[in-house]
Amino acid sequence: MPPKSPKIPAAVYQFKITLKGSRPPIWRRVWAPDHFSLYKLHRVIQLAMGWEDGHLHQFIVDGRYYIIPHPDDWEPGIDERRIKLEKLAPSLNSRFIYEYDFGDGWEHVILVEKIIPPDAGEIYPKCIQGKGACPPEDVGGIWGYQSFLQAIRDPNHEEHDSYLEWVGGEFDPKAFDIEAVNRALRKVK
């Protein structure tokens, strides 16, 4: 049996994903096909930003919560695996929220910058731009990340050595490898 060819989208969404509260801003610009579910957009965001996908997440669109439902949920939500971008139909310049890790509270503002026709020669999803390294998982949200950055910049800080050891010896807050992101995104179908 020949391999299944990828579905050709009717349209492609260009999203700008910005980590709320980050200074300087940490952001990614991605293309995602209209037939992707919100769950697949979650996977795109995880890979594009550099998160490890070890925590819960949700989308908040027009006051509605899109989640992967679980019997232990306190509040009901809409199953994000069943909602396609084309059905959600975010309009140009609309914004919604993607929240990751409810303990650390990483909020991402998702802006619909463009809705464009697909290019037959392009592979979707794709990251086309970005700035800044993803904060380490479990650093304590945006405030914890700022404290982390202060500590690793100051060799005399009491947590300097432990933080550097925790992140593997070094951390460049400006680092962003678009080629590595796009290699990872090729796995999202």
The reported pLDDT for the residue numbered 65 is: 95
Residue type for position 178 = I
Provide the token pair at 101.
């890790």
Q: Is the pLDDT of residue 6 over 70?
A: no
- CATH number, domain 12-133+174-185: 3.10.290.30
Q: Is the pLDDT of residue 5 over 70?
A: no
pLDDT of 87 higher than 90:
no
Cβ atoms of residues 177 and 114 within 8 Å: no
* Domain parsing of the chain, residue ranges: 12-133+174-185, 134-173
Give residue 120's pLDDT: 87
Residue 4 CA to residue 112 CA, distance in Å, equals 30
pLDDT of residue 2: 53
Q: Which two tokens stand for residue 94?
A: 């609309």
Least confident stretch, 32-41, 64-73, 114-123, 140-149:
64-73
pTM of the model: 0.93
Return d(Cα 101, Cα 97) in angstroms, integer.
13
| Phi and psi, residue 108, nearest 5° | -120, 130
Alpha-carbon distance of 50 to 134, in angstroms, equals: 5
Peptide bond into 125 cis (omega under 30): yes
Q: 93 pLDDT band (50/70/90 cuts)?
A: confident
